[in-house]
């Protein structure tokens, strides 16, 4: 068994951790163990120094939270002072008959020098200190602590929502948000503790008064009954010692009460109390007026004219110097402002990168973002980001929301990579959007508009018409939901642009935690990160989720040795994801309704593709191309009217070309190859597309 060295002991049991426990044990011992007068002098002096130190720290801190240990320190200081009261009371009552120095030099000094040996004067001074401490400082600090603690707790939800809003808009990152949340929690705990700590100070003031009365009564009784002193002699000795003891204890108590009041009355800024007072009290106008009032009072007959005139002159002099300093600073600022600044050398900090995803809003839509006015746009945007990240299989970048003064008040822009990809006009805050899905039973009294996401006719209506609109068959959403729906569609349609090399690398790093060998063998051994990223983008561009990252990477590992072409690799991956693609179209046990191409038309497209050569699409005659695209559009509309999704099934050879060509002509159409449909999936042909160039 290894021996424990001194260094090991210091590492495992730091000496600094024993300081507070030792102090607590010493304080508790003072309640029981009698102390010598010299030790009592040392402890009383230490108590005064500690109280002064606490006051100075309270004055010099910039924020109350910078002195977060104050409530606990206040408790220990109060306990130390009470222990000194008990120890001094023991000595005064036991040895007080021996003389004024029986309880130590400190108590004697306060009893003889401070109150000039007059116990009546001492009692009056002590009473005044008690009134100042208990009625003025302690009571006021306690009330302020209570109010601040209540307001801080009430403000916590709003502060948390503001942090979530900044995080969601990209203003701050996760670490900063976590730090701010911790600060809010610590602030609430601090002011709650201060509310309780102020009760320590108040109780200490009451205890000081009771101890004074007990010492006087007990001292007189002991002096007369046990030591055969006269009543006047016992009163002179014990009352002087008791008053001196009370003053020694109450002066540090007043310091701590003052420190408590300073802490709880501070307004949180980056300045200390001294800096705040110096900058805010240096008001020349107020000083000149005060000097004038002092002069007028000094001219009144019977007033001490010399005193008032001296103070008036001093006040006016301070005001004059402050005015001169401000004039000099103003001239320097004006001269520096008029001097042309030398052109600053450009660096990379002057080149700003565009946001991946941004939402620019006009100033009329700001209430939708502000949680204080009931704005729900921030939670909606956060929910969309979370939902899309789960469905697409990668983390969507934070969506930055900012107000743009160049936009109309009721307008918003959806920006991807610095380019506007979606616009919304005439968004009416306080109204709701009633969308016509195509089968409504009447008109509404509202402002006609067009829904931005899908281009459907709609009305902006008063919220009181919501139930009527739903009865007539309209889909009713609020302004925030309308904007969020448009944002969701733009992000989903352009998901491939949201995934870059960084996101691809993070996906690989996450997969490597469970399948390190798979990732290690593939990247960069067989395929580069660029090729893998391009494959991900190809899948996303055709609305295929990359959640099943393991299957995708296994297929790339199998096929990466034969080809590194991203399009070919994408075509090889899609059949492996066929079940997931199909389940996104129909329920698990339902037949898949599909459209097919006329065999002659499909053969024609095959022949055109072979003639065009590898890597190129079929070259169609203009008449045939126009007829083909028109037939596809008619087929999609007819199938959707039957309540089926638009799904076109073709041969694997022409599927990639058809998917690209039809993406923007029939956005709701899904193009599958025969190999992408699982073997156990039932299929029903509901339409056959025919195209005749002569039509």
Q: What is the pLDDT of residues 375-386, one digit of tens each?
A: 888 888 999 999
319 and 442 in a single domain? The answer is no
Residues 6+ apart with CB under 8 A from 48: 248, 251, 252, 255
Please give the Cα distance from 208 to 403 (Å, whole number). Answer: 60
Does residue 9 form part of some domain? no
Residues 6+ apart with CB under 8 A from 141: 198, 201, 257, 260, 261, 264, 265
402 and 529 in a single domain? The answer is no
- Residue 516 structure tokens: 């390190």
Q: How many CA atoms lie within 13 A of 98 on its CB side?
A: 11
Per residue in 108-138, pLDDT tens?
777 666 566 566 776 777 777 777 777 777 7
Mean pLDDT (the chain, rounded)? 80
Return phi, psi of residue 594, to 5°: -130, 160
Percentage with pLDDT > 90 across the chain: 14
Return phi, psi of residue 597, to 5°: -90, 145
Does residue 346 form part of some domain? no
135 and 246 in a single domain? The answer is yes
Among 485, 407, 477, 417, smallest CA distance to 453 is for: 485
Does residue 340 form part of some domain? no
Please give the Cα distance from 641 to 638 (Å, whole number). Answer: 5
541: helix, strand or coil: helix
CA distances from 608 to 613, 620, 625 (A): 9, 7, 12
121 and 147 in a single domain? The answer is yes
34 and 140 in a single domain? The answer is yes
Residue 36: predicted pLDDT: 78
Q: Which of 272, 305, 320 is a domain's end point? A: 272
461 and 528 in a single domain? The answer is no
Q: Which of 557, 577, 597 is a domain's end point? A: 577
475-478 and 419-424 beta bridge pairing: unpaired
Residue 619 pLDDT more than 80? no
Residue 588 pLDDT more than 90? no
CATH code of the domain covering residue 663 = 3.40.50.12790
Predicted TM-score (pTM) of the model is 0.54
Residue 534: predicted pLDDT: 93
Residue 178: predicted pLDDT: 83
Residues 6+ apart with CB under 8 A from 51: 77, 251, 252, 253, 255, 256, 259
Does residue 335 form part of some domain? no
Number of H helices and E strands in the chain, helices first, is 26, 12
In the DSSP assignment, the letter for residue 463 is G
Residue 590: predicted pLDDT: 84
490 and 504 in a single domain? The answer is no
Residue 409 pLDDT more than 80? yes
623: helix, strand or coil: helix
Residue 156 contacts residue 183 (beta carbons within 8 Å): no
Please give the Cα distance from 88 to 249 (Å, whole number). Answer: 10
The residue segments making up the domain with residue 200 are 24-272
683-689 and 670-673 beta bridge pairing: unpaired
Does residue 277 form part of some domain? no
Residue 348 pLDDT more than 70? no
Does residue 5 form part of some domain? no
Residue 161: predicted pLDDT: 76
205 and 318 in a single domain? The answer is no
Residues 6+ apart with CB under 8 A from 664: none
649: helix, strand or coil: strand
Residue 220 contacts residue 231 (beta carbons within 8 Å): yes
CATH code of the domain covering residue 520 = 1.10.8.540
79 and 221 in a single domain? The answer is yes
Residue 341 pLDDT more than 60? no
Residue found under tokens 């072979």: 610
Please give the Cα distance from 592 to 597 (Å, whole number). Answer: 16
87 and 118 in a single domain? The answer is yes
Residue 439 contacts residue 456 (beta carbons within 8 Å): no
The model's confidence at residue 214, banded by pLDDT at 50, 70 and 90, is confident
Please give the Cα distance from 309 to 313 (Å, whole number). Answer: 6
Residue 269 pLDDT more than 60? no
Q: Which of 543, 577, 611 is a domain's end point? A: 577
Residue 10 pLDDT more than 60? no
Lowest-pLDDT range, 9-13, 195-199, 300-304? Answer: 9-13
What per-residue string of b and e applies to 312-351 under the rule 16 or more CB within 10 Å gives b? beebbebbeebeeeeeeeeeeeeeeeeeeeeeeeeeeeee
CATH code of the domain covering residue 437 = 3.40.30.60
551 and 473 in a single domain? The answer is no
> How many C-beta atoms lie closer than 10 Å to residue 420's C-beta?
11
187 and 57 in a single domain? The answer is yes
592-597 and 683-689 beta bridge pairing: parallel
Residue 253 pLDDT more than 70? yes
Does residue 188 form part of some domain? yes
164: helix, strand or coil: helix
Question: How many separate domains does the chain show?
Answer: 5
Mean pLDDT calculated for residue range 316-329: 78
Does residue 131 form part of some domain? yes
CA distances from 660 to 19, 240, 281, 544, 670 (A): 74, 102, 72, 14, 11
Residue 1: predicted pLDDT: 42
Per residue in 61-99, pLDDT tens?
777 777 777 778 877 887 887 888 788 777 777 776 665
């Amino acid at each position: 068994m290894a021996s424990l060295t001194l260094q090991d002991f210091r590492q495992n049991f730091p000496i600094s951790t024993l300081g507070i426990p030792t102090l607590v044990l010493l304080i508790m011992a003072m309640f029981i163990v009698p102390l010598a007068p010299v030790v009592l002098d040392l402890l009383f002096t230490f108590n005064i120094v500690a109280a002064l130190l606490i006051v100075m720290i309270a004055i010099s801190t910039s924020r109350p939270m910078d002195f977060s240990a104050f409530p606990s320190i206040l408790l220990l200081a109060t306990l130390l002072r009470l222990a000194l009261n008990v120890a001094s009371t023991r000595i005064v009552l036991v040895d007080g008959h021996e003389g004024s120095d029986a309880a130590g030099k400190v108590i004697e000094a306060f009893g003889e020098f401070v109150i000039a040996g007059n116990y009546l004067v001492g009692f009056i001074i002590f009473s005044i200190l008690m009134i100042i401490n208990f009625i003025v400082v302690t009571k006021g600090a306690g009330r302020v602590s209570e109010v601040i603690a209540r307001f801080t707790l009430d403000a916590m939800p709003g502060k948390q929502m503001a942090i979530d809003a900044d995080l969601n808009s990209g203003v701050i990152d996760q670490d900063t948000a976590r730090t701010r949340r911790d600060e809010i929690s610590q602030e609430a705990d601090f002011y709650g503790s201060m509310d309780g700590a102020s009760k320590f100070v108040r109780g200490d003031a009451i205890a000081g008064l009771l101890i004074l009365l007990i010492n006087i009564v007990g001292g007189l009784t002991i002096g007369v009954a046990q030591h055969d002193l006269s009543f006047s002699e016992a009163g002179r000795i014990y009352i002087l010692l008791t008053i001196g003891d009370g003053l020694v204890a109450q002066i540090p108590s007043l310091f701590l009460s003052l420190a408590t009041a300073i802490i709880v009355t501070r307004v949180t800024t980056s300045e200390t109390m001294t800096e705040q007072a110096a900058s805010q009290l240096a008001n020349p106008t107020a000083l000149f007026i005060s000097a004038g009032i002092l002069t007028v009072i000094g001219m009144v007959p019977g007033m001490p004219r010399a005193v008032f005139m001296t103070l008036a002159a001093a006040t006016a002099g301070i005001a004059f110097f402050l005015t001169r300093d401000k004039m000099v600073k103003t001239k320097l600022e004006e001269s520096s402002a008029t001097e042309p600044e030398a052109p600053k050398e450009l660096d990379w900090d002057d080149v700003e990168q565009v946001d991946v995803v941004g939402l620019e809003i006009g100033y009329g839509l700001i209430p939708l973002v502000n949680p204080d006015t009931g704005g729900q746009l921030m939670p909606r945007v956060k929910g969309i980001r979370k939902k899309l990240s789960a469905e697409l299989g990668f983390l969507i970048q934070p969506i930055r929301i900012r107000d743009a003064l160049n936009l109309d008040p009721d307008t918003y822009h959806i920006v991807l990579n610095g380019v506007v990809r979606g616009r919304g006009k005439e968004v009416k805050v306080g109204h709701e959007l009633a969308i016509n899905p195509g089968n409504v039973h009447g008109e509404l009294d509202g402002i006609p508009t067009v829904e931005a996401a899908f281009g459907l006719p709609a009305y902006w209506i008063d919220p009181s018409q919501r139930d009527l609109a739903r009865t007539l068959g309209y889909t009713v959403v609020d302004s925030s939901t309308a904007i969020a729906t448009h944002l969701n569609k733009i992000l989903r349609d352009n998901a491939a642009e949201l995934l870059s090399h960084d996101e691809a690398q993070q996906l690989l790093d996450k997969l490597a935690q469970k399948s390190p060998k798979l990732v290690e063998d593939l990247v960069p051994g067989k395929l580069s990160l660029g090729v893998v990223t391009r494959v991900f983008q190809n899948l996303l561009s055709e609305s295929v989720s990359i959640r099943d990252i393991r299957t995708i990477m296994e297929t790339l590992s199998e096929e990466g040795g034969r080809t590194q072409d991203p399009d070919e690799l994408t075509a090889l991956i899609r059949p492996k994801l066929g079940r997931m693609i199909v389940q996104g179209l129909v329920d698990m046990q339902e037949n898949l309704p599909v459209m097919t191409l006329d065999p002659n038309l499909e053969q024609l497209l095959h022949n055109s593709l072979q003639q065009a050569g590898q890597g190129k699409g079929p070259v169609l005659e203009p008449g045939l191309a126009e007829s083909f695209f028109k037939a596809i559009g008619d087929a999609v509309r007819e199938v959707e009217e039957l309540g089926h999704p638009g799904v076109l099934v073709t041969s694997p050879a022409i599927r990639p070309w058809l998917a690209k060509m039809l993406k923007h002509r029939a956005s709701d159409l899904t193009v599958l190859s025969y190999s992408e449909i699982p073997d156990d999936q039932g299929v029903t042909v509901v339409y056959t597309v025919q195209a005749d160039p002569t039509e």
